Amino acid sequence: MGPLAVALAFGFLPACAGSDGGGSTGTGGAIGSGGATGAGGATGTGGTKATGGATGTGGTTATGGATGTGGTTATGGAPGTGGAKATGGATGTGGTTATGGATGTGGTTATGGTTGSGGTTATGGTTGSGGSAGVTGKGGASGGAGRGGAGAGGSGAAGSTGTGGAGGQLSCPGDSYNAASPPTTLTLSGSLGAHDPAAYVMGQTVYLAATSGVAKISQDLMSWTNWAGGNPHPEAWAPDISNFGGVFHLYYAVSSFGSNKSCISQATRNALDSGSWGTGAQVICSNMGTTDNWNAIDPNVVLDDAGVPWLDFGSFWGGIKMVKLKTDGTRADTMLYDLASGPGGGAVEGPFIFKRCGYYYLFMSFGSCCGAPYNYTIRVGRSQTVTGPYMDKDGKALMSGGGTLLVAGNSSWSAPGHNAVITYNNKTYNVYHALAAPSGQNGAATLRISEIAWDPNGWPVSGGP
């Protein structure tokens, strides 16, 4: 939650969209069919000895892999025409386009087997293509094997499995944890003021938006400059950038400090490196003509394995909630899902969901972000289903106050929290803010980025603070 106190006029401005890294996983390519069976030429019948002793050569030409007609007995010893090469199986079609997943490499060409009877050679099925590239999705399924010509020629090799995209269910980005070389915190430079940061990665460019209209850009994750027009809403809190439905979405919240009379809105644009955010519209509100024990702030979008967008959000009160979205970014139905509750029903906020290796990891912050005792910390739980239930490393439900500690403050930096998790060059990073301690404990938040490694059981270990 941002530190900014804003009086609600509720003619809300465009929303800001979120993450990555998470983002979201598309479905990988379906299994490509291997080449159809090409029938090898059948055995040509050798001519019997004619008068004069000339040997007849076998059957007539086999067309397109159909059965070669065996040669009839040569009269007078004239040579029968031998069977031609039978054409092998037709081309195997690779996996269909994966919405997620990096390019799947097709299987190599299968060469037909040994010569069939009558001297024909069947060529095996050609390459089966793997699942094609997609954004943050499941890996492409294996392309099917091309079959060799019947009676001659071996089977073609199956297409190889496509690799899932960053954050996809079959994608497992990030380094394995090594106690001898633990994850570290990056040394950043440039424009670093940021509260409630969220980041979105496109190639080598990282786009970042934060509370109070802050927007930044980096080409290396280390050096940061201001991103003009990246977040045009100075009154907005905790923006989040996402991509689905063919456009980029910016979700953001407007509220006032200590209140749960709040609204989350969204705006869209076609590209991050050009153009601007369009006019926004409200997506979900709390206590606007209703009575709600939850707070519509701190939005984050995650795409499930089917590519369906979901909006998780919440701060204090009833904890972290989730609703399903349509492809245009508006609310799909009236269902409200419970994901997490703070310890003792208390302070929890800033959710961010990151997909990795078949799990949805729910990151969140406990404690006080912006005032004494400055005990903000980053916690995590996970689930194999986007709507939960989420459990921490010890098996405690997040709805019962569970949450494995990931990052806490130290003597140099206090109150680290409200994080996003991204994949950059196949490594995973924790993006968050913290306050310089002790003199910085006055609300001046600073961008921090740490490496994340993954232990043998798939739990994150972060550098920091």
Q: Report the domain count for the chain.
A: 2
Residue type (1 letter), 328 = D
Whose tokens are 């930096």? That residue is 413
Mean pLDDT (whole number) for 200-216: 97
Asked if residue 44 belongs to a domain, the reply is no
Q: How far is CA 276 from CA 199, 299, 320, in A?
A: 17, 20, 30
What confidence tier does 436 reach under pLDDT thresholds 50, 70, 90? confident
Query: Is 63 within the bounds of a domain?
Result: no
Answer yes or no: do 188 and 138 share one domain. Answer: no
Residues 133, 194 within the same domain: no
Quote the pLDDT of residue 211: 97
Amino acid making up residue 162: G
Report yes or no on 80 lying in a domain.
no
Same domain, residue pair 356 and 430: yes
Q: What is the average per-residue pLDDT within 296-312?
A: 98
Of 426 and 32, more confident: 426
Residues in the chain: 465
DSSP for 136-166?
S-PPPPPPPPPPPPBTSS-PPPPPPPPPPPT
244-274 tens-digit pLDDT: 999 999 999 999 988 999 999 999 999 999 9
Residue 25 phi/psi, 5-degree rounding, is -100, 130
- b/e per residue 75-87 (b: at least 16 CB within 10 A): eebeebebbbbbb
Q: What percent of the chain has pLDDT above 90?
A: 57
**What is the reported pTM?**
0.67
Judged by DSSP in three states, 118 sits in helix
List the catalytic residue out of 235, 240, 305, 349: 349
Amino acid, res. 258? G
Token representation of residue 93: 């079609």
* Shared-domain flag, residues 283 and 336: yes
- 36 pLDDT band, cuts 50/70/90, is very low
Higher pLDDT pick, 19 / 220 = 220
* Model confidence pLDDT, tens digit, residues 40-94: 333 333 333 333 333 333 333 333 333 333 333 333 333 333 333 333 333 333 3
Per annotation, catalytic residue among 196, 292, 338, 392: 196
Do residues 196 and 236 both lie within one domain?
yes
pLDDT of res. 290 = 96
Q: How far is 420 from 432, CA to CA, in rounded Å?
A: 6
CA gap 417, 336 in Å, rounded? 25
Q: Confirm whether 294 is domain-assigned.
A: yes
Express as a percent the part of the chain with pLDDT over 70.
62
**CA separation for the pair 250, 433 (Å, rounded):** 20
Determine, yes or no, domain membership for 100.
yes
Assess whether 256 and 364 both reside in one domain. yes
User: Are residues 277 and 136 part of one domain?
Assistant: no
238 shares its domain with 344:
yes
pLDDT band at 441 (very low <50, low <70, confident <90, very high): low
DSSP 110: P
Q: Give per-residue pLDDT as tens, 309-358.
A: 999 999 999 999 999 999 999 999 999 999 999 998 889 999 999 999 99
Determine the 3-state secondary structure of 10 from DSSP: coil
CA–CA separation, 341 vs 328, rounded Å? 29
Radius of gyration for the chain, computed over Cα atoms and rounded to the nearest angstrom: 30
* Same domain, residue pair 234 and 364: yes
Mean pLDDT for all residues in the chain: 74
139 within a domain of the structure (yes/no): yes
User: What is the DSSP code string of 314-364?
Assistant: -BSTT-EEEEEB-TTSSB-SS--EEEE--GGG--EEEEEEEEETTEEEEEE
For tokens 């494995």, the residue is 404
- Given a contact cutoff of 8 angstroms between Cβ atoms, the answer to whether 432 and 197 are in contact is yes
State yes or no: pLDDT of 429 exceeds 80: yes
Residue-level pLDDT at 301: 98
Q: What is the DSSP letter of 398?
A: G
Q: Which domain holds residue 94?
A: 89-106+129-148+159-164
**DSSP per-residue codes, 66-85:** SPPPPPPPPGGGPPPPPPPP
Same domain, 357 and 222: yes
Which residues have C-beta within 8 Å of that of residue 310, sequence separation ≥ 6? Answer: 301, 302, 303, 304, 322, 323, 324, 325, 353, 386, 387
Query: Does the annotation count 392 as an active-site position?
Result: no
In terms of domains, do 405 and 288 share one?
A: yes
pLDDT value of residue 346: 85
Amino acid present at 243: N
Residue 419 has pLDDT above 60, yes or no: yes
Outline where DSSP puts E strands in 158-213: 175-176, 189-190, 198-202, 205-210
What pLDDT, in 10s, does the model give residues 217-245? 999 999 999 999 899 889 999 999 999 99
Q: Indicate whether 298 and 433 sit together in one domain.
A: yes
Contact 313, 266 (CB under 8 A): no
Instruction: Answer whether residue 77 is part of any domain.
Output: no
3-state secondary structure at position 400: helix
pLDDT digits (tens, 9 = 90+) for 153-199: 333 333 333 333 333 335 899 999 999 999 999 999 999 999 999 99
CATH classification at residue 457? 2.115.10.20
> Which residue's entry shows tokens 């490499």?
105
- Confidence tier at 9 by pLDDT (50, 70, 90): very low
**Within a domain: 348:** yes
> Is 349 noted as a catalytic residue in this protein?
yes
Residues 6+ apart with CB under 8 A from 427: 173, 174, 175, 451
